[in-house]
């Protein structure tokens, strides 16, 4: 009787990666006008393949921060930051080393924690399996050869990105992140984690952390605006600067928001003299 070959759990993860198809950005964020891939889209693609290979997720979450903040419009928002830990396991009891990811969710109701988990799981799946956004060309499709014949002779196929080029690209992303979020997230420990990942060439983990920064910046800015209103609200109640601060925050211009807030102490002193 022929003995059935047993794959290790890591080999099964690779097998899933080899079979998974593209998950296109078929959904639209109506508020900010950009296409995206939802967590359901990933699971619809993954479920039959993971079931075929006898592979499951074992997730666990830890709430790192849970705040209730009042927006400029007066709406109360729940802000939650979670740490997600996931390992793969198979029917033989084998497990991978847990991978950790950060998720941030905000909601006016009770869904903030679910949004944080969904975001963390989605980026974990996307990065672990390198899920493409468009279908690969079928090698038997005659149109592929026809299109190739129509290409200019001098045109060359794009070369695979070198390690040095990837490092330079990620360095620029880090510079851009500092420009966008450096002022408002100046003292946050996330920068140390991002820098450590950059130095270790762990660009997947670095990208995941960078993706959390917009929500972290919103949370930090909301807290700063709330504290500023408590400190200077009475002294500067009629000043138009509050409108400027709310406008900058609405535009997600965190550097400008922080700069305007930093002027409040001096403005309050001037009002006292007058």
Q: Residues 29-81: pLDDT tens digits?
A: 666 666 777 888 888 888 999 999 999 988 888 888 888 877 666 778 888 88
Are both 190 and 230 inside the same structural domain?
yes
Are both 122 and 170 inside the same structural domain?
no
Is 145 a member of any domain?
Answer: no
Are both 35 and 118 inside the same structural domain?
yes
Are both 178 and 121 inside the same structural domain?
no
- Count of domains forming the chain: 2
Is 155 a member of any domain?
Answer: no
Are both 177 and 78 inside the same structural domain?
no
Give yes or no for residue 143 having a pLDDT over 50: no
Give yes or no for residue 9 having a pLDDT over 70: yes
Is 257 a member of any domain?
Answer: yes
Please give the residue range of the domain that contains residue 170. Answer: 162-274
Rounded CA separation 22/156 (Å): 25
Is 151 a member of any domain?
Answer: no
User: How large is the average pLDDT for residues 108-137?
Assistant: 80
Are both 190 and 96 inside the same structural domain?
no
Are both 109 and 189 inside the same structural domain?
no
For residue 35, the domain's CATH number is 3.30.390
């Amino acid at each position: 009787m022929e003995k059935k070959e047993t794959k290790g759990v890591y080999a099964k993860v690779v097998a899933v990666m080899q079979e998974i198809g593209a998950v296109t950005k078929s959904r639209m964020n109506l508020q900010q006008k950009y296409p995206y891939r939802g967590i359901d889209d990933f699971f619809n693609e993954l479920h039959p393949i993971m079931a075929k290979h006898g592979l499951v997720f074992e997730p666990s979450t830890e709430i790192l921060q849970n705040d209730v903040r009042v927006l400029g419009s007066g709406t109360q928002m729940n802000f939650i930051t979670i740490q997600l830990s996931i390992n793969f396991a198979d029917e033989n009891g084998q497990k991978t080393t847990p991978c950790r990811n950060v998720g941030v969710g905000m909601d006016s109701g009770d869904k903030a924690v679910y949004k944080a988990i969904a975001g963390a799981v989605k980026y974990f799946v996307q990065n672990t399996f390198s899920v493409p956004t468009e279908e690969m060309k079928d090698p038997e499709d005659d149109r592929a050869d026809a299109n190739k014949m129509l290409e200019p002779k001098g045109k060359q196929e794009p070369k695979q990105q070198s390690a040095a080029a990837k490092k330079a690209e990620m360095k620029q992303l880090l510079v851009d992140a500092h420009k966008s979020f450096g002022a408002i997230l100046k003292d946050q420990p996330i920068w140390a984690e991002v820098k450590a990942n950059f130095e270790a060439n762990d660009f997947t983990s670095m990208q995941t952390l960078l993706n959390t920064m917009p929500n972290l910046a919103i949370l930090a800015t909301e807290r700063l605006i709330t504290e500023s209103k408590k400190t200077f609200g009475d002294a500067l109640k009629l000043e138009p600067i509050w409108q400027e601060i709310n406008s900058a925050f609405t535009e997600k211009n965190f550097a400008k928001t922080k700069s305007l807030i930093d002027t409040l102490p001096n403005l309050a002193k001037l009002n006292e003299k007058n």
